[in-house]
Amino acid sequence: MPISNMSLSRRRFLNQAGLLGLATSSPVRKLLAADKNPPPTATGIPSKVVRNRAPLAASAFYLLPLGSIRPTGWLKGQLEIQASGLSGHLDETWADVGPNSAWLGGKGEAWERGPYFLDGLVPLAWTLGDSRLKSKAQRFVDWTLEHQASNGMIGPASNDDWWPRYVMLKALTQYQEFTGDPRVIPAIDRYLRYQLATLPTRPLRDWGKFRWQDELLTVIWLYNRTGSQYLLDLARTLHTQGYDWMAQFADFKYTRKITPEFIKLDEDHGLRDISLATHGVNNGQAIKTGPVWSLVSGKRDDSSAVLKMIAELDKYHGLPNGMFSCDEHLAGPDPSQGSELCTVVEYMFSLEHALAITGDPALGDRLEKLAFNALPGTFTDDMWAHQYNQEPNQVECSLHRKPWTTDGPESNLYGLEPNFGCCTANFHQGWPKFANSLFLLSGSPDSDANDALVAAVYAPCEVHTVVRGVPVHVVEETGYPFKGTVRLTINPSAPVAFPLQLRIPAWAAGTAVRVNGQPQQQPSPGSFARVERAWRPGDRVEIEFPMTPRVSLGFNDSVSIERGPVVFSYGVGESWVKLADRGMTADWQVFPSTPWNYALDLDPKDPSRSIKVIETEAGESVFSGRNAPVRLNVKARKVTAWRAEDGVANPVPKSPVKTDAPEENITLIPYAAAKLRITAFPNLNTASGEDKHPA
């Protein structure tokens, strides 16, 4: 079946890259450097946070050592679904990460897929404490560490591209934090010394040039543990040779839907700068560039560049699920355009680091919107199949060429590797990295006397960390994002005074905070509320977020309904048709079995009065249509002129619309629960919204 030009270009690159190799490769001796900061899982004692060394700038907050946070409740259930699904069995059914992978010493795929898989498998396995998954991950780790070349190079000798090694470094740093394996830091050090010596004659190119900020994270990680000055030289070299993302967004020119002709996709195998600059995944990874580089540059303008990037993408390519369109290149604001799954998880990863570095609560708002909508919205409930592209207005998942900018007709099928296998290898990082980013710590680099514990994003979990030298255990109980109550129980091993900072979303005006039942000063939306006291075991903090439905305006003045961080959609009836068996899973088309072309009838003065909220107890899978914990009832009328062509909903009609169709009551469910859906609706009235993405 035909494939897109982009898919073809990436496959050509993959094949060519496999022919480029190092001349020699020999096993490296086992290095036995002592780890001075053993992880929580190694000793049972919480680790201290590793902060930035001088001359790096201080971060506003710091991620806790991996292993400090354990998901509970529905979040743990979601990770268990992932482990029982494709993530936990991919190597058993997909050859690219199976026993013949070149990243296991075989003759198979030698580029990004093994590292991508490991980058999500490591945090999934160790966060769940799953010995079966740990064993799978350990094979990739051991082969990489035990087959380091004498010059320091890591990975298959058949492929010397810098880019996949960025991803392997991310996986190795996570593995080291979880396990304390003494081999990792010396191995990374030898590799980065080799790279610095080699970059003058073999500089960054194509994917590595546009994704340099991902390796910069590892360079900073290692510098904070060793203090080796050459790492600062390497950081500056990566910046010099890498693409200037901040310049692109300072004068953003890609304001329209990208076409293959505009980027000359058929030339140079799709690897021209203009093609890579408008590529969705590259942009998702680039979001963190300014904050990460600001740690080296020390410039506030670099740190704040993340907000400019997001604003430009929202303005010209923003979609109601929090994503920007990229199928696979930037595609404009029409909600029938798609977003690539790789971009979702990379955007989340960028936000997790940007939030920690800048301390801007708006980044936590966006992270939650992606995690609770776009991430689960592209999987089947059991996570045995995924889409390459998801659409907010998705009325059919079938073999059609519309509306994709550069992708092929398999793009929104649910399956093993629809359109291209990068997302199959890469999606695994989404949930586990999110789970490990729920709490942060602030404080000065030189002393823990000013430490503050930060509730950065909300989901059920337990935290073991050290605050001002005292081990602290926090239990977070919540049905968030579907319910507005968050309860935190603070259990220090001894009484200790420190501030607890609570992120208050921008939509959460009227939030109430109580400590041991006593009301606190009402916090401002879009801020971090600060509760400072001497904490004793059993102290309880309760947050009540208002969960009134809100209306947002988008493309053609369409309306979308949100409640808390969750976006709601009309769930179109689904008829699933198996296209092909794919080993342990299958590829599926999904066809509509009910009408979908509705306009909402919202009160123009107070749209929320038009919406009835129905809450139920959450089931085992909170993102399934069957178990949706919240449903919204609204009045609507069909718009007969709004139709689909070639399986794709036409652009949402300009609001307000007129129709003679009778009034109906329809039910909206969470975005991710609706596999076929309408999320951006025409409106029968002129409603006032809280947000607008200009067309």
- Asked if omega into 177 is within 30° of 0 (cis), the reply is no
- Asked if 522 and 509 count as a contact pair (C-beta separation under 8 A), the reply is no
- Rounded (5°) CA angle 206-208-213: 130
What would the pLDDT profile of 310-365 be if each residue is shown by its tens digit? 999 999 999 999 999 999 999 999 999 999 999 999 999 999 999 999 999 999 99
β pairing state of 452-455 and 69-71: unpaired
What was the pLDDT predicted at 608? 81
The token duo for 516 is 């041991």
Domain range summary for the chain, segments of one domain joined by +: 5-435, 439-478+485-544, 550-678
What was the pLDDT predicted at 603? 86
Query: 438: helix, coil or strand?
Result: coil
What was the pLDDT predicted at 98? 98
Determine what percent of the chain is predicted with pLDDT higher than 70.
92
Alpha helices, DSSP H, located in 85-227: 86-93, 113-128, 131-146, 162-179, 184-198, 206-210, 212-226
What was the pLDDT predicted at 607? 80
What was the pLDDT predicted at 686? 66
Output the CA torsion 473→479→480→483 (10° steps): -140
At 48, the pLDDT band (50, 70, 90 cuts) reads confident
- Rounded (5°) CA angle 392-395-401: 90
- The average confidence (pLDDT) of the chain is 92
Query: 551: helix, coil or strand?
Result: strand
Question: Does pLDDT of 43 surpass 90?
Answer: no
Neighbours of 87 (CB within 10 A): 26
- Asked if 104 and 110 count as a contact pair (C-beta separation under 8 A), the reply is no
Average pLDDT estimate for 116-144: 98
The residue type found at 597 is N
Q: Which of 23-27, 140-144, 306-310, 328-332 has the lowest mean pLDDT?
A: 23-27
The token duo for 638 is 């069909």
- Asked if 448 and 469 count as a contact pair (C-beta separation under 8 A), the reply is yes
Phi, psi of 424 (to 5 degrees): -60, -40
Find where tokens 């009910």 sit: 594
What would the pLDDT profile of 425-480 be if each residue is shown by its tens digit? 999 999 999 999 999 999 777 777 789 999 999 999 999 999 999 999 999 999 99
Domains 5-435 and 439-478+485-544 share a fold: no
What would the pLDDT profile of 527-566 be if each residue is shown by its tens digit? 999 999 999 999 999 999 999 999 999 999 999 999 999 9
d(C-alpha 434, C-alpha 373), whole Å: 13
Looking at per-residue confidence, does 5 or 568 come out higher? 568
Q: Whose CA is closest to 520, among 531, 528, 509, 510?
A: 531
**5-435 in CATH: which number?**
1.50.10.10
Domain covering 439-478+485-544, topology: Immunoglobulin-like (2.60.40)
d(C-alpha 432, C-alpha 383), whole Å: 14
DSSP 27-79: PPPPP-PPPSS--HHHHSSPPPPPPPPTTSPPPSSEEPPTTSEEE-HHHHHHH
Residue 227's region, left for phi above 0, alpha for psi from -120 to 50, else beta, is left
What was the pLDDT predicted at 45? 58
At 518, the pLDDT band (50, 70, 90 cuts) reads very high
Average pLDDT estimate for 183-189: 98
What was the pLDDT predicted at 690? 60
The token duo for 515 is 């400590």
Rg of the chain (C-alpha set): 24
What would the pLDDT profile of 582-592 be if each residue is shown by its tens digit? 999 999 999 99
What was the pLDDT predicted at 33? 34
β pairing state of 496-504 and 452-455: parallel
